[in-house]
Structure 1
Amino acid sequence: MRPMRELIEDLEAEQSDLDQILTGLEDGDWDLPTPAVPWTIRDTVSHLAFFDERQTQAIQDPAGFAEEVNQRLTGDYDEYMTIGIGRGRAMSPSEVLAWWREARAEGLTAFAMVEPDSRLAWYGPAMRATNAVTARLMETWAHGQDIAEALRMTRQPTNRLFNVADLGVKTFSWSFANRGLPAPEQKVRVALRGVGGRSRVWNDDANDSVTGPVEEFCLVVTQRINYRDTHLVIEGEIAQKWMEVAQIFAGPPGPGRPARVDDDFPIYRAAHNAAEPSS
C-alpha cells in the first residue's frame, strides 16, 4: 500500500492538470457536450465540486453525511447525482471553477487529517481512507477524460494511473455483484505497463488475464471506452466477462460505452508500444 501522503500528492497533481485545461477555456467552451451525455463541461466540473464537498463532509461530519445519504438516497438516485449540476448551471464558468478549487482544496486538507487505515463513510460500504483518496483521483481523471474528449484534446498518460488501476482490480467482485451476478472465486491476472517502462502485476498466479497499457485498462474500468476498442489482451472467460461489466465507481450499473459507434467523439487509441510487463 502506498503512503497516504503520496496518494494525496497524486490527487493534487491530477486536479492541477485538469485545472490547467479549464483555465484556458473560453466561457462558451463550458457548455460543450461531453461523451457523458447529457453533461457539459460545466456540468462535469460542478459534479466534481459537489462530491469533493461531500467527501469533506464525510470526513468532518460523518453523522451528518450519513443522515444526508439516508434521506437523499431513499428517493431518486439520479436526481441526487445531479444536485451539483443544478448548482453549477446557475453560476458563471469562473464561479464554477472557483467552487471546484475551493472544494478540492478543502478535501485535500481533510484527507491529510485522517489516518490511512480509518474507514470513511461513502455511498455504499465505508472505504479505507487510502481508497477514498484514490477514488477521488479516479473521478478527477475519468471526468477529465470526458472534458478532454469534448475539447478534442489528447492527454498524455501518467503513472498516477496505477492508483486507478489498483482500485479497478480491487472492485473486481463489486463489478459483478452490482449487476446481481455471482462474483467469480477465481481472480484475474492483470499485467499493465505505464510510462517510462514502469509496470505492475496483480494476482500473478491466476489463469485468466488482462494485459496491456494501464491507461486503456483504466478507461475500461471507469467505463470511458469499450474494451473492444483497446489494445488490451484478454484471455479466459472470467476475464472477458469482467471487462464487459467492469465498474470502478459506486452507484447503479453504468451504461458503459458502445464499441465503435460513437460518431460525435473520436475512438480512443493509445499511442505507446512499451514492452509487456514481467512478474
Structure 2
Amino acid sequence: MLEELLADLATESDALRAAVAPLDDAGWRSPTPAQGWDIATQIGHLAWTDEASLAAAAWAKGDPAGWDALVAAALADPAHFVDASAAAVAAAPPAELLARWDAGRTALAAALREADGRLPWFGPPMSPASMATARFMETWAHGLDVYDALGIEPERSDRVRHVCHLGIRTRGFAFAAHGLEAPAEEFRVSLILPSGALFEAGPAEAAQSVTGSAWDFARLVTQRVHRDDTDLVAVGADAERWLTIAQAFAGQPGGGRSRA
C-alpha cells in the first residue's frame, strides 16, 4: 500500500512540476484562487510541508530537534504560521525553489519507506501510509490552484481516491475543529471515480449517506469548491452538516471557497 501511495504521489508531483518549470519570474507570481497565494507560494508550501514531514520522521527515529522547533513556531503564531512559512520558502528564485521541492519530496519518500511506527503531526499522529496520503492530498489540492491559475485542465484520474479516503477518515476532526460533537454513527459514502468505478466506505445499512462524484467530494474536503457547486447528495442532517464543514487537512478551520 505504501509503495502504491508513494508512486501516485510522485506521479501527481511530477505533473505539477512539469506545469510550473517553464514559467518565467512573472508566471511564478501569477495569483491563484487561494487568497494572497501566488504559484510560488503554492509550491513553497508543498516544499516546506515535505520538509516538516521529514522532521516528523526524524523525530520518530530519535532526533526531535527539528520537529520540536516547528511545533514551538506553530504555537507562537498559530494563525499565520502556515502562510508565513510558505511565503518564506517562496521568496527563493524559481530554480532554487524547484530544487528545494525536488530534494525534499525525494528525501521524504525514502524516509517514509524506512519509518517504523507513528509520526507526529499538527493533527493526530500518523502512520507512514497516512503521511503519504496526506502529502498526496496536499499536492493534489494545491495543484488544482496552480492549474486554475495557468488555465490548465487537470488530469482526472482515479488517484483522487486517496483524497476521498482521507476526507472520510477526517470526518471526526472536521466536526471537532468547528467545536461540534461528531455523530456517533458512521455514514455510507458512495462516490463515482473518474473511470466510472465506485469508491465506497461505511456500512451499507447506514441511515445517513453521501453520494456523488469522487472528484467533487475531493474538491470539497480540500475546500477547493463550495458545497453548493458540487453534485454531492447528502441524506440526513448530520451528513449535510458534514459537507458544509468537511476538512481533510490539519490545522484551524479553513474558510472554504465562495460559490462560483
Shorter-normalised TM-score: what interval? Answer: over 0.9
Q: Give how far 1:134 is off.
A: 0.1
Q: Give how far 1:184 is off.
A: 0.7
Q: 1:192 to 1:99 in 2, by over 3 A?
A: same
Instruction: State the partner residue of 2:106.
Output: 105
Q: Give how far 1:73 is off.
A: 2.4
Instruction: State the partner residue of 2:119.
Output: 120
Q: What is the CA–CA distance in structure 2 between the aligned matches of 1:216 and 1:70, rounded to whole Å? A: 33
Structural mapping, 1:179-190, within 5 Å:
179-190=178-189
Instruction: State the partner residue of 2:5.
Output: 7
Tell me the amino acid that sits aligned with residue 125 of structure 2: A
Contact 1:192 1:212 in 2 (8 A): yes
SS of the aligned residue for 1:190 comes to strand
SS of the aligned residue for 1:133 comes to helix
Instruction: State the partner residue of 2:36.
Output: 38
Q: What is the CA–CA distance in structure 2 between the aligned matches of 1:89 and 1:70, rounded to whole Å? A: 21
Tell me the amino acid that sits aligned with residue 84 of structure 1: S
Contact 1:211 1:233 in 2 (8 A): yes
Q: Give how far 1:81 is off.
A: 1.1
Q: Give how far 1:65 is off.
A: 3.9
Structural mapping, 1:260-275, within 5 Å:
260=260
Tell me the amino acid that sits aligned with residue 175 of structure 1: A
* Structure with a larger share of its residues in helix: 2
Contact 1:226 1:259 in 2 (8 A): yes
| Alignment partner of 1:165 is 2:150 | no
Structural mapping, 1:237-248, within 5 Å:
237-248=237-248
Instruction: State the partner residue of 2:250.
Output: 250
Residues 216-269 of structure 1: CA deviation (Å, up to 9, x unaligned): 100000000012101112222111100001001000100001223xxxxxxxxx
SS of the aligned residue for 2:126 comes to strand
Q: Give how far 1:10 is off.
A: 1.1
Instruction: State the partner residue of 2:214.
Output: 214
Contact 2:220 2:246 in 1 (8 A): yes
Q: What is the CA–CA distance in structure 2 between the aligned matches of 1:156 and 1:129, rounded to whole Å? A: 26
Instruction: State the partner residue of 2:82.
Output: 81
Tell me the amino acid that sits aligned with residue 174 of structure 1: F
Tell me the amino acid that sits aligned with residue 71 of structure 1: A
SS of the aligned residue for 1:167 comes to helix
Q: What is the CA–CA distance in structure 2 between the aligned matches of 1:259 and 1:154, rounded to whole Å? A: 19
Q: What is the CA–CA distance in structure 2 between the aligned matches of 1:235 and 1:154, rounded to whole Å? A: 31
Contact 2:55 2:67 in 1 (8 A): no
Q: What is the CA–CA distance in structure 2 between the aligned matches of 1:87 and 1:66, rounded to whole Å? A: 18
SS of the aligned residue for 1:247 comes to coil
Residues 167-213 of structure 1: CA deviation (Å, up to 9, x unaligned): 11000111001111011112221101113232111112212111111
Instruction: State the partner residue of 1:20.
Output: 18
Please give the root-mean-square deviation of Cα atoms over the aligned residues, in Å.
1.4
Q: 1:103 to 1:70 in 2, by over 3 A?
A: closer
Instruction: State the partner residue of 1:155.
Output: 154
Instruction: State the partner residue of 2:175.
Output: 176
Contact 1:191 1:200 in 2 (8 A): yes
Tell me the amino acid that sits aligned with residue 92 of structure 2: M
Residues 4-32 of structure 1: CA deviation (Å, up to 9, x unaligned): 11111111111111111112323211101
Tell me the amino acid that sits aligned with residue 59 of structure 1: A
Q: Give how far 1:78 is off.
A: 3.2
Q: Structure 1: any 5+ residue segments left out of the alignment?
A: 261-279
The normalised TM-score by structure 2 is 0.94
Q: Give how far 1:89 is off.
A: 4.1
Q: What is the CA–CA distance in structure 2 between the aligned matches of 1:70 and 1:92, rounded to whole Å? A: 27
Instruction: State the partner residue of 2:196.
Output: 197
Structure 1: which 4+ aligned runs deviate by more than 6 Å? none
Contact 1:172 1:246 in 2 (8 A): yes
Q: What is the CA–CA distance in structure 2 between the aligned matches of 1:133 and 1:194, rounded to whole Å? A: 20
